[in-house]
A = this chain, B = another copy of it.
Amino acid sequence: MSAFGGFRGIAFLTDYGLEDAFVAVCHGALLGIAPRARVVDISHLVAPQDVRRGAHLLASAAPYLTPMVFLAVVDPGVGSERRAVALRAGESVFVGPDNGLMMEAADRLGGVAKAVVLDRPELFRHPVSATFHGRDVFAPIAARLFIGTPLTDVGSTVDAGSLRRLQPPVSRRGEDWVDAEVVHVDRFGNLVIHAGADDLKALAVERGGRVRVGEVVAVVGRQFASVASGEVVLYLDSDDLLSIAVNQGRADEILHLGVGDVVRVTACASPG
């Protein structure tokens, strides 16, 4: 895995947006060291400095891209004392700030097997800007890892337990209810909540049965086309998370919910 050719490419996630040249500048920094690397842009439209959203996106993409070098930069603490790190999980490596951004993805690939703090400035691009570590610190290290530099050559080993983690989203379960935090609203207005197949099972509602989701009644279905137009459906999404959709409508608007809100899902005996 650490040999050249072991990774499919470098997968790149930031909050840099697509209107500036920041992303292209980092591509340049990567190509200067790893001229043959494929670069896959995961997304650069993470809301500015929204580490939680970046972490969720990276985790949802990583299992389908591995083995990869993941370069992830959502970094409100750039220039402060937050550490710059690289870590290995499964057959992939991750490079970015130590602010929790990469941990959920690493967990999905089997957990952090090894972590280093990027303390070898001779590997950085100089002068190192105070505000653009994507270009000067993280991209050069990601490119070096891609071309085969071992993880332990780009920094000093640190205890994986010392890496910062985000507060996990709310997810609680009672006898006939689940409380779960909305972790994402997708482009179609579908709400992804921090609950999974186990939680659905615990509610003991068959497919086609009904649950109360906040103040509305939803059908448990396979997906949004399982219900009539305008009806609400609760289903396991393509990422194995419970999602709430409205067939031919926007669930976020109809349920008045957004990221960070907690919604209660309750089994219904009778259809509301």
A residues with CB within 8 A of B: 8-9, 11, 15-21, 23-25, 27-29, 31-32, 35, 38, 40-45, 48-49, 57-58, 60-61, 64-65, 76-80, 129-132, 135-136, 184, 186-188, 222-226, 235, 237-238
- Selected from B11, B32, B45, B58, the residue in CB contact (under 8 A) with A19 is B45
Q: Is the CB of A28 within 8 A of B64?
A: yes
Q: Which partner residue on chain B sits nearest A77 by CB separation? A: B225
Selected from B23, B131, B238, the residue in CB contact (under 8 A) with A132 is B238
Bound Cα distance from A31 to B68, whole angstroms: 11
- Whole-angstrom distance from the CB of A145 to the nearest CB of chain B? 18
Closest Cβ neighbor of A20 among chain B residues: B186
Interchain CB contact (< 8 A) of A238 among B49, B135, B184:
B135
Give the number of times this chain occurs in the complex, counting copies: 3
Inter-chain contact B223/A25, CB cutoff 8 Å: no
A223: contacting residue among B23, B61, B79, B188, CB under 8 A: B79
Query: Are A31 and B9 within 8 A (Cβ)?
Result: yes
A146 to chain B, nearest CB (A): 14
Residue of B nearest to A129 (CB): B238
> Complex Cα distance A8/B35, Å?
7
A235: chain B residues at CB < 8 Å are: 130-131
Nearest chain-B residue to A53 (Cβ)? B19
What 9 pairs between A and B have smallest CB-CB spacing? A132-B238, A28-B64, A129-B238, A21-B61, A17-B187, A28-B65, A130-B223, A24-B42, A130-B222
